[in-house]
Structure formats: C-alpha cells, structure tokens
C-alpha cells in the first residue's frame, strides 16, 4: 500500500501554491510595458517608450494622406491625434483577441463602396507585431475602418462634404 506522509505532501502543496502565485504575477504583467521597456533600450534620449505604430494613409484626401508615427504609453508622435488614436486602439485591446483583426471570411457585407482610401498600420501593440491593411471596399470594411477612427482618418462617403 502506498502511504504519503504529511510533511512531503505539505511541501508539495506549498511548492505548487508558490509556482501558481509566480505564474499569476507573470501573466498579470502588462506585455506592452515589457515591450516598451525593451523598445527604448539602446535608443537615444527622448525616444518614447510603450506601444508604437506607423500609420500610412493614401487616397483619403490631402489633409489625411501621409505616414504618421504613433507612440502610446505615453501618447506622442507625428500622428494628428495621438491621445485619441491610442485610446481607440486601447479600447479594443483584449487578452487573446486581435485588436486589428480582419473581417471574418464568412461575413455577409453590404455591397457599398466607401471610396479609394487605404491605410497600412505596422508596429507593436500590446507586445504583439502589427501589420494590417484597411480599405473601404464594402460595408464590413467601412465599419472596420470607422471603428478605428481617430487612429485612421474620418472619411465620408464619396461625393459628400
């Protein structure tokens, strides 16, 4: 018959509890903070830490087109509205979900055209690489774009002011 003494069992239980506590503290850490700390390592003074995105917009109009740098945590960069852009990306950031996910292939989308505007977003967000493209070719893509305003510029329907 197998017999377990109380002392080794208590040690095993204590070690398991300690391991669980260590794991819980690691998983609770903000991955963006870790990336931000590494992102500035070796960089020159004045380089912001935290999440970094490069947003390139084309065919959205002369006031909106261009390439903009966005830093979050703290907000900064050449983006026209860094605080608003960081807030919209942060709003949709959830553990295990892609903030910049494409429209699912099985989606049924309205056949409407939102104009020729495109945007390409690259960088690091919440510790994960980002390389995503936005356009306005149908109702689903228009909604996806609009959810990311002001990270992406607000674009009206063609022919409207």
Q: What is the pLDDT of residue 120?
A: 98
Q: What's the gap between Cα 156 and its chain centre?
A: 24
CA 129 to chain CA centroid, nearest Å: 8
Q: Could you tell me how many helices (H) and strands (E) the chain has, helices first?
A: 4, 5
Q: pLDDT value at position 8?
A: 52
User: What per-residue confidence (pLDDT) applies to 84?
Assistant: 97
* Predicted TM-score of the model (pTM): 0.68
Report the pLDDT value the prediction gives residue 96, as an integer from 0 to 100.
75
* Residue 70, strand partner residues: 53, 77
Residues of the chain with pLDDT under 50: 2, 4-5, 9-10, 12-47, 159-161
């Amino acid at each position: 018959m197998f017999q377990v003494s109380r002392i080794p069992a208590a040690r095993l239980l204590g070690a398991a509890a300690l391991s669980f506590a260590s794991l819980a503290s690691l998983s609770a850490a903000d991955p963006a903070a870790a990336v931000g700390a590494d992102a500035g390592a070796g960089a020159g003074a004045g380089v912001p830490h935290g999440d970094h995105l490069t947003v390139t917009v084309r065919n959205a109009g002369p006031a909106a087109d261009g390439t903009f740098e966005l830093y979050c945590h703290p907000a900064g960069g050449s983006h026209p509205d860094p605080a608003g852009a960081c807030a919209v990306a942060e709003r949709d950031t959830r553990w295990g979900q892609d903030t910049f996910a494409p429209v699912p292939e099985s989606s049924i989308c309205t056949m409407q055209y939102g104009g020729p505007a495109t945007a390409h977003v690259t960088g690091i967000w919440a510790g994960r690489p980002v390389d995503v493209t936005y356009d306005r070719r149908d109702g689903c893509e228009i909604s996806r774009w609009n959810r990311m305003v002001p990270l992406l510029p607000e674009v009206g329907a063609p022919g409207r002011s």
